[in-house]
Amino acid sequence: MTSQFEPIRRLPNMQDIGPTALAERDAAITTLRGVFGLRGYDRSETPILEQTELYIRKSGGALSSRLYGFLEPGGLDVSLRPEFTSAILRQIANTTASDGQIRLMYDGPVFRYARPEDEDGDKTRQFTQLGAEMIGAHAPSADGEVIAMALEGLEALGITGGRVVVGHVGVVVDALSEFNLSERAKLFLINNIGELKNGEVEEVSNKATALGFITEAVVDDAQAAADRERIASTIEQVLAEGMGVQFGKNTGVRTPAEIVARLSRKMSQVDNPVDFKRALDMLVNLSQVSGPAVSALQQGEAVLSSAGVSADLISNLGEVLESAEIEGVSSDRLNIDFGMARGIAYYTGMLFDIYLDDAHSETLGGGGRYDGLTRALGYDRDVPSLGFAYNLEAVIAAIGSTDNASDEITMISPEAEGSIAEAVAKAKDLRANGQRSAIEFQSLNDPSEDQVT
């Protein structure tokens, strides 16, 4: 007999998880909670559903375009969490005014959508994060602790080949600040560091040209001055006659004065194409610097020096790595990658990815420092903070085969025992001894028919 309905299929790129995998996950979670707990981290939980705004304020387009967002029945724009950090900070900023450090850990499902044609379009859209945040710690040695703990957790799971690749957003931002560029230009360059690292210099240059950062024409000072004068007089005219007369077109809900004010603000921040090009060249070189910590630090310093930027900018990164070594991380497990790009935009300092053996494998997790996130979330102070999270499914895959199979179940047949009462009593006895047991009930199906699955 067939049903009048179509079977309901599982959503694409979502997984059902069976007993064995769940047992593996539970075991890993217990181990990691133990490791973090010994270092003073307490557990915390936040809702799976949050206001969408929590995740779009500072996360950046790469994450906010992957949100599972929808209008909830109460009329609010909400999203399934794509990560924990923002919610943990919301929770902390709301509840404490402590000056000391707060160490929290968390685990649970996160959701990120990817289109089938995206690079990661075949990846699962729900996965489990287990992570930790240290809130209120400024010293580079805190960065070292977090990196060390990330590797320590893996070791506790029997993964000894874990290593980290460390980058530093702060170095890139500080270096770009030496080129007298607008915020807009700096942001553009930072957002494209991943492309530059991949050698897509021409593509980035083309984009920069389209946006007016790079101009083909040679702009001499006299011409630039003339341009400025011409534009200034246009603005003056517009202000005097009104936008309507000059352009005869609609400005929408924005007033001509608002437009002109913003335009003149923008013009005062116009970037010198020569400076921009120098910054771009520096970043192209810097993004290519990666490898073992000691040599990469030297190369990074050399790139900065030759671009006329103070090489001292790198000192924080050096201190971070040093403190990780003090924590017992051997230097051969620490690699640097100045071109490291992260899909999440709230990082401000050190950031790192965790790999098994070589950096080309799938990342097991990652994290970094995000000192400005509290302010971005609307609180009145910056709280220096950092943290990381594992992608638990990737970590468990790296453990390889484990023996977390559940004990066997003893099935008890009422027929064989003589009655249901005796079967129940026997099962109870077994359970009292810690043995798994269950009653074998008769199936509804006619025994002559094959079992329907």
Rounded Cα–Cα distance for residues 130 and 141 (Å): 22
Burial readout 116-132 (b: 16 or more C-beta within 10 A, e: otherwise) = eeeeeeeebbbebbbbb
Stretch touching other proteins by CB under 8 A, among 93-101, 134-142, 210-218, 416-424 = 210-218
Cβ–Cβ under 8 Å, residues 310 and 304: yes
- Residue 329 neighbours by CB under 8 Å, 6+ apart: 144, 147, 148, 151, 164
Residue closer to other proteins (CB basis): 138 or 207:
207
> Does the protein bind other proteins through residue 108 (CB under 8 A)?
no
Residue closer to other proteins (CB basis): 184 or 277:
184
Number of H helices, E strands in the chain: 19, 14
> Does the protein bind other proteins through residue 2 (CB under 8 A)?
no
- Token readout for 285 is 């070189």
> Does the protein bind other proteins through residue 381 (CB under 8 A)?
no
Gap between the terminal Cα atoms of the chain? 13
Smallest separation, CB 266 to other proteins (Å): 5
> Does the protein bind other proteins through residue 138 (CB under 8 A)?
no
CA 104 to chain centre: 17
- Token readout for 2 is 């067939």
Q: Degrees (nearest 5) of the Cα angle 37, 42, 44?
A: 135
Q: Degrees (nearest 5) of the Cα angle 422, 428, 432?
A: 145
Rounded Cα–Cα distance for residues 419 and 416 (Å): 8
Burial readout 160-190 (b: 16 or more C-beta within 10 A, e: otherwise) = eebbbbbbbbbbbbbbbebbebbeebbebbb
Task: Write down how long the chain is.
Answer: 453
Q: Which of 2, 30, 94, 250 binds other proteins (CB under 8 A)?
A: 250
- Token readout for 371 is 């000192």
> Does the protein bind other proteins through residue 207 (CB under 8 A)?
yes
Residue closer to other proteins (CB basis): 230 or 266:
266
Residue closer to other proteins (CB basis): 62 or 411:
62
Count of residues that bind other proteins according to CB under 8 A: 32
Stretch touching other proteins by CB under 8 A, among 252-260, 268-276, 324-332, 356-364 = 252-260
Tell me, what amino acid is at 279? A
Stretch touching other proteins by CB under 8 A, among 5-13, 89-97, 290-298, 398-406 = 5-13
CA distances from 84 to 55, 90, 121, 282, 390 (A): 10, 10, 22, 34, 11
> How many Cβ atoms from other residues are within 10 Å of residue 450's Cβ?
8
- Residue 265 neighbours by CB under 8 Å, 6+ apart: none
Residue closer to other proteins (CB basis): 104 or 345:
345
Q: Which of 266, 428, 431, 436 binds other proteins (CB under 8 A)?
A: 266
Stretch touching other proteins by CB under 8 A, among 26-34, 253-261, 332-340, 379-387 = 253-261
Smallest separation, CB 20 to other proteins (Å): 24
Smallest separation, CB 61 to other proteins (Å): 4
Interactions with other proteins, residue window 43-62 (CB under 8 A): 56, 60-62
Strands 69-71 and 102-111: unpaired
Residue closer to other proteins (CB basis): 113 or 127:
113
Q: Is 103 helix (H, G, I), strand (E, B) or coil?
A: strand
> Does the protein bind other proteins through residue 256 (CB under 8 A)?
yes
Smallest separation, CB 204 to other proteins (Å): 12
Q: Which of 34, 40, 158, 212 binds other proteins (CB under 8 A)?
A: 212
Residue closer to other proteins (CB basis): 2 or 250:
250
> Does the protein bind other proteins through residue 338 (CB under 8 A)?
no
Q: Which of 64, 129, 287, 299 binds other proteins (CB under 8 A)?
A: 64
> Does the protein bind other proteins through residue 67 (CB under 8 A)?
yes
Residue closer to other proteins (CB basis): 77 or 422:
77
> Does the protein bind other proteins through residue 156 (CB under 8 A)?
no
> Does the protein bind other proteins through residue 75 (CB under 8 A)?
no
* Sites of contact with other proteins (CB under 8 A): 9, 11-12, 56, 60-62, 64-65, 67, 116, 184, 187-188, 207, 210-212, 243, 247, 249-254, 256, 259-260, 262-263, 266
